[in-house]
Amino acid sequence: MRHLITALTAASAFALAGCASNAPEELPPQPAPVDTPAPAPAPSGPTPGSNADFMAQMAGQNVIYFDTDKYDVDSEDVAALQAQAAWLQRYPNTTATIEGHCDERGTRDYNLALGERRANAAKNYLVSLGIDASRLRTVSYGKERPVALGSDEAAWAQNRRAATIVID
């Protein structure tokens, strides 16, 4: 954020200085916000080893899902976690956060504990696949950060999850 402000300020100052050198009769209009174009993506896709790369490679398998009140890793989750572990082994200098989440149909404190369980279940499985535990941080958001906004079983099933995010 601070960098962005600095960049904008510098850009504004530059624009003003440029106008002043032309000695205009009237005060120039306020410079329009400078839209710095995003760096053109490399033709080969996201930077290897970045979270964007991880997301692209996982194609949804960065998230595993749980049954109501459960935190066990089932066969579908195993496939996803194996894919995550393979990527993490390919980029051994990366670290990741595993977020544990719950659906809204639980009490707040219990859901914080349950989200912690789910995040740890995913972490422990990744560790069992050879990922160093020191590379994996867990955080529980309980029911505070749903991704599906409905109040029905389909939405709740999407929200009972552990999501792995690579720290860039």
Partner 1 sequence: MKKILAILLMMLALPLAAQQNTATPEVVPPPPEALEGEGGLQVTVTDESAWQDLGIAIPAFATNANVPTPANTQGTAALGLELARVITADLRNNGLFRPVGPDSLPRPQYAEISAPNWGTWQVRNAQMLVHGYVRAGEDGRLTVGCYLYDMQLRNQLVREGWVVQPAEWRRAAHKCADLIYSRLSGENPFFDSKIAYIAETGPKDHRVKRLAIMDSDGANHRFITNGQTTALTPRYSPDYQSIVYLSYLNGNPRIYIYDIGTGRQRLVTQSANPTFAPRWSPDGKYILYSMAVGGNTDIYRVSAQGGESVRLTSSPGIDVGGSYSPDGSRIVFESDRSGSQQVYVMNADGSNQRRITFFGGRAATPEWSPRGDQIAFTHIVGNFRIAVMSPDGSNLRHLTNGWQDEAPTWAPNGRIIQFFRTTRGSGEATLWQVDLTGANERRLPTPVGASDPAWGPVLP
The CA distance from 63 to 59, in Å, is: 10
Coil/strand/helix, residue 103:
coil
Range list of H helices, the chain: 2-20, 51-58, 75-90, 108-128, 153-159
**Size of interface with partner 1, in residues (CB under 8 A):** 29
> Within 10 Å of residue 33's Cβ, how many Cβ atoms?
9
Window 47-86: contact mask with partner 1 (x via CB under 8 A): ----------------------x-x---------------
Residue 13 or 113: which CB sits closer to partner 1?
113
105 binds partner 1 (CB under 8 A): yes
Q: Determine, following the binding rule CB under 8 A, whether residue 147 of this chain makes contact with partner 1.
A: yes
Tokens of 41: 């993506």
The values of phi and psi at residue 161, to 5°, are -150, 165
Least CB distance from residue 150 to partner 1, whole Å?
Answer: 7
Binding residues for partner 1 (CB under 8 A) = 69, 71, 104-105, 107-110, 112-114, 116-117, 119-121, 124, 138-142, 144-147, 149-151
